[in-house]
Structure 1
Amino acid sequence: MDIAFTKGHGTGNDFVLYSDPDGRLELDATQLAALADRHFGIGGDGVIRAVRSASLPEGAAALAEDPGAEWFMDYHNADGSPAEMCGNGIRVYGAYLLAEGLLDLAIGEAVHIGTRGGVRVLTRTEDGFEVDLGPYVVAGDAMVSARRLDVDRPGLAVGVGNPHVVVALADDDELDALDLSEAPVIAPAPPEGANVEFVVPGEPLISGGVGRIRMRVHERGSGETLSCGTGAAAAALATRSWAGEGAPDVWRVRVPGGEVGVRVADGHVHLSGPATLVFDGAVTLP
């Protein structure tokens, strides 16, 4: 079976994308993991299928929520497991729909995209896209252990359409010393797992009314990645909560692959950043 694909990334968080508007090419977990394999496949933190919401069962919920959500982002982690949402992935997905001629969107215009985490509004900007990740939840404490972290640290659970636990560290040295080749251990363990973000505040934390933090992340089902969009949003929300009254609504989050923007407005959290399509190709799957 030959599949045409595009490789893309958002601040280094990379994806294999393929087009299947009518839902005729649903790959199983083994095939998806083969595409994402960095040694024997194309390589990526996840795989995204461009499919119409009407063409797959999960799309029914999206259309019930918003009949205008024609396109569905069918996202799977690198191990082939499905995920609710991907903040960097949906920006790259928007760029892919434009490049494939499946969408016509001018700068400043928005499109509604179905995901397993609900419908998300994606707006084209001058330098990429901004996605409204919707309402968020900052609640629940946990303890997190990780390799080369001297003692277990408290984490704050944050929900932005998918689950996160955010841990504050003391300084850049502590952040750099982490070994995220193995998944951090969360106690109590979330039923479906969670992404874990480790955060260091900027010096100063707030400059010109904008909050600044640095972050590394271990993504559920993918391992450490150069960036995580929903993770950046979760990290900014957690830091904003810790900062207390007077904390800003606008944040810049530095990740190993670059920088993304997070803003809070009207009870929703928004993520902005670049989306880059790198190359096209074709691959044969058994």
Structure 2
Amino acid sequence: MKLQFTKMHGIGNDFMVMRWPSGIGLPSQALVRRWADRRRGAGFDQLMLIEEDYQGPGDGAYRVFNADGNEVEQCGNGVRCVAQFLAAESGADRFKLMSASGAVEARILADGQVSVNLGEPNFVPAALPFEVKGEAATYDLRIGGRKVQFGAVSLGNPHVVISTDSVDEAPVGILGAEFQEHSAFARGVNVGFMEVQDAARIRLRVFERGVGETLACGTGAAAAVAVGRRWGLLGARVDVSLPGGVLEVSWQGSGSPLWLSGPTTWVYEGQIEYESTKE
């Protein structure tokens, strides 16, 4: 059985976007990993499944699977691509989309970029989840034999943010992987390395759980700005420079939603073989 898909990316953070038929089961972890393989499959950071026969609130619903086959709660750049995909089908420019982390509002802007409302950042440790005695702006943990200081926040999925003098010198792969093994993060965690240039500009690299370092991470950009705002380092609108390009994050602060904006790119369309597989 062949299924139609669209390959898209948001500044290099790439996705397989599919309308998922209701009559078949969800793809197994093994199948997602096969599709995500950049040599033997389509290759992607995340698989975005749009529920074909969704009958609930809003304009549609989507599910997110990382390249390792695990389903996760949210993906900022992924939902921006989903919104662009739906806009191309319907001609609409506003959507309310449902995900495992709740409702997301998406808008197609006049310049073609896509902006999504990711809700208010949640700094409560249990929201990540992060096992720690109490909430704080900064935490210290021993990770891989070294003491690491970081902020923690949920944007529908879990993030820690580490301040660094230079993202070029940051041990992204090593420290990002070590965070995944720490018992304080029961479901793993996305790890951002933030270099503050001024109150309106940061550089960022992100190690995504279940994927590794990616060219961009939308919720990672949102998390970095949220933590940077909490630390008093950043203003209400910040340009976030990632290896794949620039995203804009706007957040007025506590009590307000956070908006993530940037370009999306339609790469190609294709078909891929679906089969029920066992782990």
Counterpart residue type for residue 99 of structure 2: T
RMSD: 2.3
Say whether the 8 Å CA contact 2:114–2:264 is kept in structure 1. yes
Say whether the 8 Å CA contact 1:181–1:223 is kept in structure 2. no
Q: Which residue of 2 aligns with 1:82?
A: 71
After superposition, what is the alpha-carbon deviation per residue over 1:226-259, rounded to whole angstroms, capped at 9, x for unaligned? 1100000001111112226xx4111110101000
- Structure 1 pair 259–144 and aligned structure 2 pair: CA distance change class (3 A): farther
Tell me the distance in 2 between the aligned counterparts of 1:95 and 1:197: 26
After superposition, what is the alpha-carbon deviation per residue over 1:155-180, rounded to whole angstroms, capped at 9, x for unaligned? 111111111000011224423x5435
Q: Which residue of 2 aligns with 1:143?
A: 141
After superposition, what is the alpha-carbon deviation per residue over 1:132-163, rounded to whole angstroms, capped at 9, x for unaligned? 000212354243647xxx94321111111111
SS at match of 1:134: coil
- Structure 1 pair 81–156 and aligned structure 2 pair: CA distance change class (3 A): same
Unaligned 5+ segments in structure 2 are 124-134
- Structure 1 pair 173–88 and aligned structure 2 pair: CA distance change class (3 A): closer
What are the equivalent positions in structure 2 for 1:1-286 lying under 5 Å apart?
A: 1-20=1-20, 22=22, 24=24, 26-52=26-52, 54=54, 63=56, 67=57, 69-99=58-88, 101=89, 103-106=90-93, 110-125=94-109, 126-138=111-123, 139-140=135-136, 141-143=139-141, 145=143, 151-175=146-170, 178-180=172-174, 183-185=177-179, 187=182, 189-202=184-197, 205-206=198-199, 211-243=200-232, 247-265=234-252, 266-286=255-275
How many Å apart are 1:21 and its aligned residue?
5.4
Tell me the distance in 2 between the aligned counterparts of 1:213 and 1:117: 26
- Structure 1 pair 72–183 and aligned structure 2 pair: CA distance change class (3 A): same
After superposition, what is the alpha-carbon deviation per residue over 1:89-119, rounded to whole angstroms, capped at 9, x for unaligned? 00111111233x2x3313xxx2100110101
Given the two structures, how large is their TM-score scaled by the length of structure 2? 0.85
SS at match of 2:231: helix
Q: Percent identity?
A: 33
Say whether the 8 Å CA contact 1:10–1:273 is kept in structure 2. yes
SS at match of 1:44: coil
How many Å apart are 1:272 and its aligned residue?
0.4
- Structure 1 pair 24–228 and aligned structure 2 pair: CA distance change class (3 A): same
Count of paired positions: 258
Tell me the distance in 1 between the aligned counterparts of 2:50 and 2:41: 20
Say whether the 8 Å CA contact 2:172–2:206 is kept in structure 1. no
